[in-house]
Each structure stands twice: as C-alpha cells, then as structure tokens.
Amino acid sequence: MKLEVLSNTTHSNIKINSTYKVNNGFDYNFCPVYPIEYTSLQSDYPIFYTKDKEKDVWQTVALLGFKDNENLFLGKGVWISRYVPLSIQRLPFYIGSQKEVVNGVPTENKILHIDMDHPGVSKGGGNDIFLEHGGNSEYLDYVNNILSTIDSEVIMLDSFCKELSKLDLLKSADINIDLSEDEKHELKGLYVVDEEKLKGLDKEELYKLHQHQYLQHIYMIGASIGNVNKLISLKKSR
C-alpha cells in the first residue's frame, strides 16, 4: 500500500477503475462492516465479530471467502449481491489524519488519501477524480460521503462492541468448512454472541442494549451466520 494525500494537482489525471473483478483490488476474504449497514448486509453476508488483540479493539466483519484473497462476490465485472459493503465501495481511498498547531492549540484534521498501489488506479479508463479545472467530480463527492459515514460509524461500532465485551457476551466461533476431501478450510479468530449469556442478562442490561439499538444489531448479526451456506454454494458454483 502506498498512501498519498489526495491533491488536485498531483492526481489531476488519475482515474479509478472500480470494476468488481478478480485482480482489480477487491480480493479480500473479509471486510470491515458497520452498524448502519447491518440491515442491508444480513440477507447475503455472514457477519462476525473479530478482535485486534494488539490494539484491543473489536470490530465486525463480513465473510467474503474461505481463504486469503478469495472474494466469492466478485463476478465477471459485477458484484454478486445487491449491496456492496462501504469498506469495499470506498477503495482505493482512505481517511488519514494530519496534526497541526492552530493558534497554539494542537488540532487533528481528517485528510483524504489515495492508495497509489491499488490496481484500480490508472491514467486510462475509469472514473475521474477531479473535474477539468480542479473541482471534485461526482464520483469523488460520492466517495467522500462514504468515508464520512465510515468515520462516524467507527465510533458507533466501538461503543457497540465495548458494551458487548463489558457484558462478556462474545464467544469464540471458529469455523471448519469441508468442501471436499481435498479442500478444507479452518477460519479462526471469529466470535459470535453467546445466546445463553444474552438470555441471562437482567432487565436493566437488556433495556440498555435495546435503548441503543444494540439488541437489533445483535439479532441481525446472529441471523446472518446462516449465510455461510450461501458462500459454500457460491464456492461450489465456481
């Protein structure tokens, strides 16, 4: 990954080929997902909780494939689902931060970055980033809106997962996939909500989860797990 601060001078001629196909920068078997997406995601994607143990941060992810760099939702130039996760839609753009001192006060500004190593970055065909005279294209405005949504959703997700962790509701749920005698996959580091512990919460704890819409998130994520079978069907159809 080679991140650069996006500039309408340095990157004026850059275009983004965002065609959803293999080897075009979308080959991930997991992608981060956020609470605002759960309703759209839960009908097609298995959603799990994962933890970055070094940073001690929980997140939710959609399972896209069973091995590294396998995205079963990539078709021949199309995404095989009616909804594309935000973390995929925003590629190859990221939000970074830039620290500076204003009137003696340290501040941190959010800055748009582009990954110049992403296969979709080119000077050939694709979406324009900037207009001819330097203004943002409609495509860039669209990406900015996605990144702004992700930025706010990260805070919502952190609060949600911290509450589940505080209540000790998350349990390990490693998955073994036997596709054939010659192809077996073991997915580790995945977590789900422990239903028995959820049932054992008192009324005040349940009300707090309900009040923040966390119960709704829990049920949608739980219902999505069955989509592992859809992934298996996609895998076998290849």
* Residue at 139 is within a domain: no
A 10 A CB-CB count for 30 gives 19
Evaluate whether residue 231 is within a structural domain: yes
* Residue 96 falls inside a structural domain: no
Does residue 140 fall inside a structural domain? no
Residue 162, C-beta contacts closer than 8 angstroms, at least 6 positions apart: 58
- What pLDDT, on the 0 to 100 scale, is given for residue 109? 84
In a domain, 104, yes or no: no
Alpha carbons within 13 angstroms on the beta-carbon side of residue 214 total 21
Query: So what's the pLDDT on residue 150?
Result: 96
Contact call for residues 164 and 149 (beta carbons, < 8 A): no
- Mean pLDDT of each 10-residue bin along the chain, 238 residues long: 92 92 93 97 97 90 95 93 96 87 78 95 90 90 96 96 96 89 89 96 95 96 95 90
Is there a contact between 209 and 218 (Cβ–Cβ < 8 Å)?
yes
Q: Does 50 fall in a domain?
A: yes
* Residue 109 included in any domain: no
Nearest to 225 by CA among 19, 2, 60, 95: 60
* Residue 49 Cα to chain centre, angstroms: 12
H or E stretch including 236? helix 228-236
Domain that holds residue 154: 15-89+115-128+147-236
Contact 192, 213 (CB under 8 A): no
Cβ atoms of residues 61 and 48 within 8 Å = yes
What pTM, to 2 d.p., does this model score? 0.91
Q: What is the pLDDT of residue 187?
A: 93
Structure confidence at residue 146 (pLDDT): 97
Domain count across the chain: 1
pLDDT at 137: 95
